[in-house]
């Protein structure tokens, strides 16, 4: 049985991951931490502690207090926010990761942190992007993600820390809204479709990016962490994806359920520039081969579920 500490537990992924892990490993075995508390289930239905990931000593103290054997480090700024505040992003994304890796080293913990399609750049092959390829990102977020992948590899090779990671695409969920990302349009579009029957996209038509529905992302984290270490050649980080679409394709899928739905465009040059530097679609075959990655949701199945769940939520 694992005893897990999660940072950024009230964020987009963390708030759902905390509940999934509590279902699997038991409520008391999953300690949620975040820089502030809110009224979410993750913060109130199990152990919760305030933790700023820049405070490495407190991270170690809390990990000792709860005798954890697994650190899941989710706290980070996403791509658009990191581009607006690059120095802060470097300090938080790299400083937080370093503290989390040091905690894992000191307490001999298994370790997970997400990377992203943002770890690729304009010189990376754009279609079916291989697992091992050119990574010269042109965003601060991407620089952080590549450095993070290398740092996690370093802790594995130098200290034997059992580090694992996934290169996530845009994640779509009806539970906790995304914030500060480039792929967030693919979440916002569902909210606006239900509330107003139309959406103005800041990402232009023809811009393809990988995406995945949150239940598949949560399963991927659990399955990677449970995978037999002897099968893992790529620890940090595996390409994972479930679909690739542009704004026109997601809008067309929504129209099947909301016939009057209209999409229009007011392109944001910053987020469009970030999207242009990322792959159109990535190849997840290493994840499939090394630990059995599989996604259940494609665009049609996800859209049906998102619209059903959000309709109830927004009532």
Which positions are catalytic?
141
Helix (H, G, I), strand (E, B) or coil at 313: helix
Task: Quote the crossing angle between the two packed helices 14-25 and 214-226, to the nearest 10°.
Answer: 50
What CA–CA distance (Å, rounded) separates 188 from 306?
A: 11
Nearer to ligand AKB, 56 or 114 (CB): 114
Residue whose Cβ sits closest to ligand AKB: 181
Smallest separation, CB 273 to ligand AKB (Å): 13
Concatenating the DSSP letter of every residue in 121-176 gives -TTS-SSSB-SS------SHHHHHHHHHHHHHHHHHHHH---EE-EEE-EEE-SSS
User: Which residue matches tokens 């620890």?
Assistant: 235
Beta strands 4-7; 166-168: pairing state: unpaired
Smallest separation, CB 77 to ligand AKB (Å): 9
What CA–CA distance (Å, rounded) separates 228 from 224?
A: 9
What CA–CA distance (Å, rounded) separates 273 from 264?
A: 19
What CA–CA distance (Å, rounded) separates 41 from 315?
A: 20
Nearer to ligand AKB, 13 or 31 (CB): 13
Nearer to ligand AKB, 80 or 107 (CB): 80
Smallest separation, CB 293 to ligand AKB (Å): 17
Smallest separation, CB 100 to ligand AKB (Å): 18
Smallest separation, CB 287 to ligand AKB (Å): 16
Strands (E), the chain: 4-7, 30-34, 48-50, 70-73, 110-112, 115-116, 163-164, 166-168, 170-172, 198-201, 209-213, 238-239, 243-245, 262-265
Which spans of this chain sit near ligand AKB (rule: CB under 6 A)?
A: 78-79, 116-118, 141, 168-170, 181-183
């Amino acid at each position: 049985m694992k005893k897990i500490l999660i940072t950024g537990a009230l964020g987009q992924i963390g708030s759902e991951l905390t509940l999934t892990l509590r279902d699997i490993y038991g409520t008391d075995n999953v300690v949620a931490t975040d820089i502030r508390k809110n009224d979410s289930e993750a913060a109130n239905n199990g152990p919760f502690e305030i933790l700023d990931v820049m405070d490495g000593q407190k991270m170690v103290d809390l990990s000792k207090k709860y005798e954890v054997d697994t650190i899941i480090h989710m706290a980070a700024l996403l791509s658009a926010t990191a581009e607006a505040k690059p120095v802060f992003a470097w300090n938080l994304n790299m400083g937080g990761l370093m503290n989390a890796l040091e905690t894992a080293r000191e307490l001999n913990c298994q370790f997970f942190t997400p990377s992203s399609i943002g770890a690729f750049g304009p010189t990376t092959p754009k279609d079916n992007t291989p697992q091992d390829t050119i990574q010269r990102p042109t965003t601060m977020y991407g620089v952080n993600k590549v450095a993070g992948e290398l740092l996690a590899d370093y802790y594995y090779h130098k200290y034997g820390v059992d580090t694992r990671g996934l290169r996530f695409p845009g994640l779509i969920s009806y539970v906790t809204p995304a914030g500060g990302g480039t792929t967030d349009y693919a979440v916002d579009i569902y909210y606006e479709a239900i509330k107003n029957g139309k959406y103005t996209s800041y990402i232009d038509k023809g811009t393809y990016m990988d995406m995945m529905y949150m239940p598949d992302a949560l399963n991927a984290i659990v399955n990677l962490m449970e995978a037999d270490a002897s099968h893992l050649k790529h620890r940090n980080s595996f390409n994972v994806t479930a679909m690739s679409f542009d704004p026109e394709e997601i809008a067309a899928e929504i129209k099947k359920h909301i016939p009057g739905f209209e999409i229009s465009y007011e392109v944001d040059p910053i987020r469009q520039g970030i999207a242009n530097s990322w792959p159109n679609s990535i190849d997840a075959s290493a994840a499939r081969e090394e630990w059995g990655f599989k996604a259940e949701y494609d665009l049609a199945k996800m859209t049906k579920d998102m619209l059903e769940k959000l309709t109830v939520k927004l009532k």
